[in-house]
Amino acid sequence: MRDWGTHSDTVNISDTVLLKQEINAKLTFWTAKQQEVVSKLTILQKDKKYPEDIHNYVAEYQLDAYQNVSHWLY
């Protein structure tokens, strides 16, 4: 939605090629990340490695996520 002060326009970007590419890239990335997390937690549970290993993995994951978000902000 664009507001020009005297009138507003709606710009439809849902079918643009670049947006579809970006959405597909994000979907692929987060699908792979989800599989990585499930795989890692499954291994940790099988090896009975809980507190420290899980804390370290979650900390690394959150740091990576923070860096990804801050990259998009700046």
- pLDDT one-digit tens code per residue, 8-19: 988 777 677 887
To 10 degrees, the CA torsion angle through 42, 29, 15, 12?
Answer: 90
HSE at residue 70, side-chain half, CA atoms within 13 A, is 6
Rounded Cα–Cα distance for residues 7 and 1 (Å) = 11
Confidence of residue 43 (pLDDT cuts 50, 70, 90): confident
| Cα distance from N-terminal residue to C-terminal residue, the chain | 24
Query: pTM value?
Result: 0.47
CB 8 within 8 A of CB 2: yes
**Secondary structure letter of residue 73 according to DSSP:** H
